[in-house]
Amino acid sequence: MAVRDRNLFAWQAYVITMAFLSVALLLGMFFLWRSHADLSTKLDAANEQLSTATAAVRKSDSRVERLKSMLGYGENSVEDMERMQSEFQADESLSMVEKDYAEAMKLFAPSVPANEKDLMALPMYLLNTVRERNVDIDTARQREAKLTEEKTATVQRETKKAEDAVAAQKKAEADLEQTRVEHAKMLAEVNKQKDEAVAKFGEYKQMLDSKMAAVTNELKNTTATADRQRAAIDDLTDKLAQYENPDFAAPQGDIIDVANGGTVVWINLGKEDGLREGVPFSVIDESAVNISEAKPKAQLIVNRVFDAHLCQATVQDYDYRKTIMKGDKVYSPAWRPGRKVGFALVGVMDVNGDGKDDINQIRELIGTAGGSIDAEISPEGTSTGQMTYNTSWLVLGTDLSLPENASDEMRQQQAAKATQYAEFMKLARQNGVQQISLDKLMGYLKTKSSDRTIPLGTRTRADDFPIGKRVNPPASRGSVSDIYTPRVAPK
């Protein structure tokens, strides 16, 4: 029991002691918190005062830097100067200073760089400017003195010239008066000579008029004689041309009969003459003398060869205004009885005027008509074959002459080909080969069927192969030809 009481008392004493300690600890913490709050308030106030003082110091430093920059101290760029000027322009303590500084900087010339403008450099700049102005003034004064001297010398020189001019004028007036007197004497002499010349002119004119009348009469007689001689020369020239350029063309046959309203004819040419079907001929009037110059009445194509000297031909493009009659002649430059006619081609063979070479069509027409190509010179200058005395015709292409509006490039190309063409034509004359134009040859050889010729190879044209309409084949009705029916043996 006694032990339990002692333990209870100890426990109570412990609790009371801890209670007092807790109260003391709470009181200490309260006073400590209160002291900390006061110190924090004082610290904030001190920090605020410090910030204000720091800003004031920075402001003062900036003002000092600005004042130093005005005096030219420190390394400040143009951008720094402009920034500080805009910063302190509204500052109460430096606004007047900025204004005075700006007015002072206007004393510098515009050519002075901005980084060289400051208050320390201004006095020296002004002194240098005054010195330069003084030098300029001294130079101007010297120039003025020199100009004054030159002016005085010029005035003296011009005055002397004026005096000399007055003296020269007086002398000239005296000379003029003397010249007038001499001129009057000479004029009287000239008038005298003129009167004598007029009198002589009248005599000469009368004599000349009489001679002119005689010469005019003689000229009329001479002119009449010259006209008669010119007419005689022209007549002889035409006859000489006929002898020098004889017409070697001769008709190959005659039309011996006409049928079907003039669309079918019979000709006295046949198998023994070497004629074959498809040869074209031109119909020449029986009264024509110069065959090569005669205009064909119609074009024929031989469609049947019957006998040794008989064939039938069909008239192409029949024209009722040009009646074909018995006795009319047939002619083709590309056919001769019993032999082939040789041709030589030179230049571009442009048949349809499209500017392209239709040489293949010409070869086909000549071959169909019974002729052959002995020699050629292409537009590119390539020479093939050989021309001989057996060659009959030289066909002249369409590029042997140029139009008046030809370009310079065309003229250069023509000049390059002209020499080779001329040599080829000279060889033709030496071999007695007659010349014929492409148009004239086509007039003899071209027929309706030749228009259906389609060039192939590189000269193929899309228009020659149009797309035809689609045609469906007729449907079968079921009937079969007897040749396809099965045969049955007879019983």
Q: What is the pLDDT of residues 39-90, one digit of tens each?
A: 777 787 877 877 777 777 777 767 677 677 777 776 776 676 767 766 766 6
Paired tokens of 461 = 């044209």
pLDDT at 133 over 60: yes
pLDDT at 402 over 70: no
Mean pLDDT lowest for which of 298-302, 315-319, 357-361? 315-319
- The tokens describing 268, both together, are 């006295």
**Digit-coded pLDDT (tens) for 83-131:** 776 676 667 666 777 777 777 777 778 878 877 777 777 788 888 888 8
- Average confidence (pLDDT) over 238-242: 52
Kindly report, as residue ranges, where domains of CATH 3.40.50 are found in the chain.
Answer: 334-455
Provide the CATH topology of domain 250-332: Thrombin, subunit H (2.40.10)
Model confidence band, residue 329 (pLDDT cutoffs 50, 70, 90):
very high
Q: Which helix (H) or strand (E) holds 342?
A: strand 339-346
Q: What are phi and psi of 285, to 5 degrees?
A: -60, 145
Q: How confident is the model at residue 241 (pLDDT cuts 50, 70, 90)?
A: very low
Q: What is the pLDDT of residue 446?
A: 73
**Rounded mean pLDDT of the chain?**
79
* pLDDT score, position 256: 93
Tell me the mean pLDDT in the region 413-442. 83
Tokens standing for residue 47:
């920090």
Least confident of 166-170, 254-258, 465-469: 465-469
Using CA atoms, how far apart are residues 59 and 260, in angstroms rounded to an integer?
131
Confidence of residue 246 (pLDDT cuts 50, 70, 90): very low
Residue 258: pLDDT band (50, 70, 90) is: very high
Residue 305 has pLDDT above 90, yes or no: yes
Provide the pLDDT for residue 488.
57
Average confidence (pLDDT) over 189-209: 87
Quick count: other Cβ atoms within 10 Å of Cβ 36? 10
Query: So what's the pLDDT on residue 244?
Result: 44
The residue among 456 and 222 whose pLDDT is bigger is 222
Rounded mean pLDDT of 337-366? 86
Distance CA 300, CA 265 (A): 9
> What does each C-alpha distance from 269 to 295, 308, 341, 344 come to in angstroms?
22, 7, 17, 26
Question: What one-character-per-residue DSSP string does 24-78 give?
Answer: HHHHHHHHHHHHHHHHHHHHHHHHHHHHHHHHHHHHHHHHHHHHHHHHT-S---H
List every span in the chain annotated with CATH 2.40.10.410. 250-332
CA-to-CA distance for 48 and 43, rounded, in angstroms? 9
pTM: predicted TM-score of the whole model, two decimal places: 0.41
Contact in structure between 345 and 309 (CB atoms under 8 Å): no
334-455, CATH topology level: Rossmann fold (3.40.50)
Place of tokens 């230049």: 347
pLDDT at 372 over 60: yes
